[in-house]
Chain A
C-alpha cells in the first residue's frame, strides 16, 4: 500500500515549498502580511524554540498566567469601580449598610459585589489571582535558586525577577487598599504610620502622599493610578524583558545522556509547548475561577466602610505583606526622642529597613555566590539542591527567617486556634527568627551532604532491591542492583572538587575574607566517586551477582539451605 504524497511539499531546501495552484484568500492575505512583517521567520524561530520537560520549569508560568488573569479581570473591575473618596450615602442592595455614609470607592465596590452581574465572582477571581501571582513568583524563585539557574549568564534575569516580586507586592498592596473598607483603610492607616516612622522625612512624605493629613481625599485616586497604570506598565515591561532573556539565554535543563552545557534537550514550542502552555493558562484561569466561585475573599460588606475610629480583630494584610507585619508585631517597642522628635525604631526597623535589606540580599544572592566561589563559567545544566549544600542551606535559612516573621503576622489567629498565649508566641518567635535560620542552615547542609553520600553509595553499591538474602551461614544481607546507566550518568554530571578561581592570599600571607567564605562554602562537600572507584565497584557487583546467581529464581520456602527442600505449594495452608 503506497501513501499519497502528492499533497506533501516536495522541497525542504532553499526553494519555498509551495503547493501547486492558486492560494486561498486567507493564504493570500497571510502571504501579503508575511512579505511585509516576516511573520513566518518569526514564527519559525519561536515555533522551533526548544523547551526541556520538567514540572518545576512550569512554576513561573503560574505567575505569568495568573498575571494574564489579573489583566483581564482587572479591566472588568475598572468599568465599575469609582476611585473617589467623595462621601455618599449608600442606597444599594446590601440592606445592612443601606443609609450609611461611605466613600464612592466603597459604594462602587459594594455595587460590583451585589449589583453588577458576575461582579463578586470577578472581584474574587481578581483577588485570588493576585494572591497566586505573587505565590507563583515565589515558588518559581525557589526553584531557580535551589537548582542553580541563577548562575551566569542569568544573573540579570534574577534581578528582574526579584524586582517583579517587589513590584508585584506593591501592586497587591495598592489593590488591597482600593475598596476603602474597614480592612483596607486599616492597611492604609498602617502604611501611613510606616512612612511617618522614617526618620526626619517621614512626616513630609506622608503629607505629600496623602495630600495633607491622613486620610484626606487623595489617597484612593492616587493609589488607583498607581495600581492600574504605573505598576502594571512596569510589570508588563519587566515580564517582557524576563521572557526575552529566557529565550535569548535558552532554558536550563537537567543533566542526562545527550544533555550538555552547549545544547538544550526538550520539545519544540510547536506543537508541544504551545499546547502545554495554553493548557496551563486555562488551568490557571480555571483554578482562580473556582477559587473565586467557592472561596470568599475580603468580604467588604462585613467590614463596612472605613472609619478611623474603628478596627477589627484579625486585621491582617494579604499574605505577601504578612511577614513585615509579623516583624512589626514581635518587635520590642524601642523608641528614642531627640530634640523633640520621635524616632520609632519599633516601626522603622521591622517595616522599612528589614524588607528593604531582605530584598537587597535576595537581589544580590547570585553575585555573592559567584564572588565567593569565583566561578565565572556559564551554566546551562542545573544542579540538584544536594550538590550545592551551602547554597541550599542558605536559602532554606532565609525561608525559615521569612517563615518566622510570617507566623508572627498571624500570631493572634494562632493564639485563638491553638489555645496559646499571644505573648508566649511573641517571645518564642523573637528568638526563633534568629536561631531558627541557624538551625535550619545546619540541618539542611548536613542533610544535603548526607544525600550526596547516599548518591555515592548508590553509584558504588547499587540501589536497594528490598530482597533480603540469607547466606548458607545464616547471615542476612540485602541484595543491591546497579543503577540504570542513564540515572547513574545523570548523577555523576557534576564538578569535582572546588570549582572557581582560587582566592589569592593577602599580602601579609593570611586568608582573605573570600578565601574563608569559599572554604566554608565547599566544606564537607562529598565528591562524586572516581572512575577507578566506579569500575572497581562494578567489578565487585558482578562478582557478587555471580555468587548469588545460584540462589536466583527459587521460591523462598524457609528451607533453602536445609535438607527439607520442597515447594511452597506442597505446604498445607493451615495446620
Chain B
C-alpha cells in the first residue's frame, strides 16, 4: 500500500507539466483501444469469416442428417400425393434448431402424431453449427442468451420473487390449458401431447415459447415479452424447487390419480382391515386340532 502511495506521489509531482495532459490522453486512448481490440468480439470481417465457417460446417451436418426430409437447401419436401414429408426450414431461425435438436426431437426416428424426445444426437457445437446454417437461410428467432432465460440471473431475490408471481399468472393463463397446472403434461388430439415440462431445460422452454414447436402456439415477443417469458420460466423453476406441501403429489395429474389413490390405498387398506377384524373372533369357528372334521 505504502509502495503504491509513494509511486502515486512520485507521479503526481509531474501532473502540472505542460505535456502532462497530452500524455494522459495518449495513455488513455491507447489503453482503451488496446483493451477493446483484445476483449471485443472479432471484427466484423473476422466474425463473418467465422460465421461462414460455422455455416459451412452446419451445412455439411445438415446435408447428412436433415436433408432427407427437409430438402438439400432446407426448402422442405412434399411427397407425390401432396403430403408434407418435412417442412421448410427457411425462416424458422436458430432457436428452432437449438430446441428441436437440443431436446433430441430431431433427427426424428419416425413420423407420427408426436415427435419423440430422445437423448440428443449431437453436441452443442454441432447444434450451433446447424443452427447457424438454418439461420443463414432466412431471418428467424436467435438462440437466447443466458440472461434472457436463466432465473438465476435476476439481480435480487425480491426481483425474482416478483417474477415468480407474475410468471405464475402468465403460466396459468397461457400454458396450463395444455401442459397442466404444474407442467406435468396433457393430451392433444390424435395421439399428440403437450409434453411434461417438469425436467425441460430453461433455454428450451424459452425457445419453445419463441418458436412454437408442433401443436404449440408461438408466443412471440409482442405477445409475451422477453421479460415475461423469463418470469414464466422462473415460475416453472420455482414449482420444481417447491416442496410437496401436501405430501406425495400423485404425479401432479389432478383428480384422476387422486381417485385411484382413494380406491386402491383408501378402500383397499380399509377392506383389508375389515377382513382382518372379521377373521378375529372371540370364539374361533375353526375346528380344533385333532377333532374330527
**Binary contact track A94-116/B, C-beta < 8 Å → 1, others 0:** 01111110000000000001100
| Beta-carbon contact of A135 and B266 below 8 Å | yes
Query: In the complex the two chains form, what is the Cα distance from A314 to B161 in whole Å?
Result: 27
Q: 8 Å CB contacts to A: which residues of B251-267?
A: 252-259, 261-263, 265-267
Write out the residue numbers on chain B whose beta carbons fall within 8 Å of the beta carbon of A416: 185-187, 193
| Beta-carbon contact of A124 and B246 below 8 Å | yes
Query: In the complex the two chains form, what is the Cα distance from A136 to B263 in whole Å?
Result: 9
Write out the residue numbers on chain A whose beta carbons fall within 8 Å of the beta carbon of B172: 182, 303-304, 307, 310, 312
Question: Is there a chain A Cβ closer than 8 Å to B247's Cβ?
Answer: yes
| Beta-carbon contact of B249 and A299 below 8 Å | yes
With A267-B282, A316-B256, A415-B187 known as contacts, the answer to whether A95 contacts B165 (CB < 8 A) is: yes
| Beta-carbon contact of B266 and A132 below 8 Å | yes
Write out the residue numbers on chain A whose beta carbons fall within 8 Å of the beta carbon of B64: none
Interface of B is mostly: helix
Pairs A–B under 8 Å by Cβ, sample size 24: A55-B275, A55-B279, A58-B274, A59-B274, A131-B258, A131-B259, A132-B262, A139-B271, A287-B269, A291-B262, A296-B247, A298-B258, A299-B245, A307-B173, A313-B176, A313-B178, A319-B263, A410-B256, A413-B257, A416-B185, A416-B187, A421-B113, A422-B187, A423-B190
Question: Is there a chain A Cβ closer than 8 Å to B168's Cβ?
Answer: yes
| Beta-carbon contact of B187 and A411 below 8 Å | yes
| Beta-carbon contact of B278 and A53 below 8 Å | yes
Q: 8 Å CB contacts to B: which residues of A40-98?
A: 53-59, 61-62, 95-98
With both chains docked as a complex, state the minimum distance between the C-beta of B243 and any C-beta of chain A, in angstroms.
Answer: 11
**Binary contact track A422-433/B, C-beta < 8 Å → 1, others 0:** 111000000000
Query: In the complex the two chains form, what is the Cα distance from A422 to B261 in whole Å?
Result: 23
Q: Which of B246, B258, B275 has the most CB of A within 10 A?
A: B246
**Binary contact track A309-337/B, C-beta < 8 Å → 1, others 0:** 11111111111001000000000000000
Question: Is there a chain B Cβ closer than 8 Å to A128's Cβ?
Answer: yes
| Beta-carbon contact of B259 and A312 below 8 Å | no
Q: Which of A199-207, A272-280, A393-401, A446-454 is the interface stretch?
A: A272-280
Q: Which of A114, A288, A295, A309 has the most CB of B within 10 A?
A: A295
B interface, CB within 8 angstroms of A = 113, 161, 164-165, 168-169, 172-173, 176-182, 184-191, 193-194, 235, 238-239, 244-250, 252-259, 261-263, 265-267, 269-271, 273-275, 277-279, 281-282, 293
| Beta-carbon contact of A296 and B173 below 8 Å | no
Question: Is there a chain B Cβ closer than 8 Å to A162's Cβ?
Answer: no
| Beta-carbon contact of B259 and A313 below 8 Å | no
Question: How many contacts A-B (CB < 8 Å)?
Answer: 207
Kindly report which residue of chain B lies nearest to residue A315, judged by CB atoms.
B254
Partner of B255, one of A136, A279, A322: A322
Write out the residue numbers on chain B whose beta carbons fall within 8 Å of the beta carbon of A409: 256
With A96-B168, A128-B266 known as contacts, the answer to whether A295 contacts B261 (CB < 8 A) is: yes
| Beta-carbon contact of B245 and A113 below 8 Å | yes
With A55-B278, A287-B266, A314-B186 known as contacts, the answer to whether A299 contacts B273 (CB < 8 A) is: no
Write out the residue numbers on chain A whose beta carbons fall within 8 Å of the beta carbon of B257: 413
With both chains docked as a complex, state the minimum distance between the C-beta of B250 and any C-beta of chain A, in angstroms.
Answer: 6
With both chains docked as a complex, state the minimum distance between the C-beta of B256 and any C-beta of chain A, in angstroms.
Answer: 4
Question: Is there a chain B Cβ closer than 8 Å to A377's Cβ?
Answer: no
Partner of A120, one of B168, B246, B278, B281: B246
| Beta-carbon contact of A309 and B266 below 8 Å | no
| Beta-carbon contact of B255 and A135 below 8 Å | no
| Beta-carbon contact of A301 and B245 below 8 Å | yes
Question: Is there a chain B Cβ closer than 8 Å to A354's Cβ?
Answer: no
Query: In the complex the two chains form, what is the Cα distance from A130 to B149 in whole Å?
Result: 43
| Beta-carbon contact of A412 and B245 below 8 Å | no
| Beta-carbon contact of A312 and B246 below 8 Å | no
